[in-house]
Structure 1
Amino acid sequence: MADMAHFPLRPPVKRSVTIAGHPTSISLEPVFWDALEAAAARLNLPINALVARIDVERMEAGNLPNLTSAIRQWLWHDRGEH
């Protein structure tokens, strides 16, 4: 298990993204923003496009978590696909 003394816990950061032409705010902890930016770079997508893709997957899933939760879960499942 990670030593929390070497892993700084930081509060969520709110950022604006645009999904299908609609601005929305997402609050994620910096570690999730870093992971989202890395995933977008790996997929050669802008952050907005990746968030939109995750949002479509979330809506298709049926049992809808909120978008922030969907992003965290997507990142958790994506972590092994590098």
Structure 2
Amino acid sequence: MEGTGGGKDGPGLLCRNVKVSGRRTSLRMEPYIWDSLKEICEREQMTLNEICTQIDERRGEANLTASIRVFIVSYYRTAIGQRGFSEDGQSPLLRRAMDDAVPLD
């Protein structure tokens, strides 16, 4: 994992390898975005590769990194709209956030 370093332009970006739809790819995102994505994976009991693959399958021509960022915002906004997170199993939160952020064509 490498960052590009912080500075007056904002936090550094971290580059990580993930498997998306069976192929290895590198994603560069802010540490806060990586942390948020990790938290979503833990809440949904899914791997990073599984979440990224679902987003990839739905994004169409959109950039994968941008689609991941939009998904994260959608996930948390959906959770707030439901007045918090459900702790009992996988809630429809993931599906709804995915539908809102990266709708199927």
Whether these two folds match at TM > 0.5 is yes
- The CA distance in 2 between the partners of 1:54 and 1:20, in whole Å, is 10
Distance in 1 between residues matched to 2:26 and 2:40, nearest whole Å: 19
Q: For the Cα contact (< 8 Å) 2:11–2:30, is it kept in 1?
A: yes
Tell me the amino acid that sits aligned with residue 13 of structure 1: L
> 1:19 maps to which residue?
20
How far the C-alpha of 1:57 sits from its partner, in A, is: 1.9
* CA-to-aligned-CA distance 1:2-46 (integer Å, 9 cap, x gap): xxxxxxx42110000011221000001000000000001111001
Number of equivalent positions: 70
Looking at structure 2, the residues matched to 32 and 39 of structure 1 have their Cα atoms a distance apart, in angstroms, of 11
> Residue 27 of structure 1: SS of its match in structure 2?
strand
Structure with the higher fraction of residues in helix conformation: 1
Q: What TM-score do you get using the length of structure 2 for normalisation? A: 0.63
Q: Which structure 2 segments of 5+ residues have no match?
A: 1-9, 80-84, 86-105
Q: Which amino acid aligns with 2:76?
A: R
Q: TM-score, normalised by structure 1?
A: 0.79
Which position in structure 2 is the counterpart of 1:52?
53
Q: Percent identity?
A: 29
Give the Cα separation in 2 of the matches to 1:22 and 1:67.
13
2:66 & 2:21 partners in 1: Cα distance?
A: 19
- Tell me, what secondary structure is at the counterpart of 1:51? helix
Cα RMSD after superposing both structures? 1.1
Secondary structure of 2:59's aligned partner: helix
Alignment of 1:1-80 (within 5 A): 9-59=10-60, 64-80=61-77
Bigger CA radius of gyration = 2
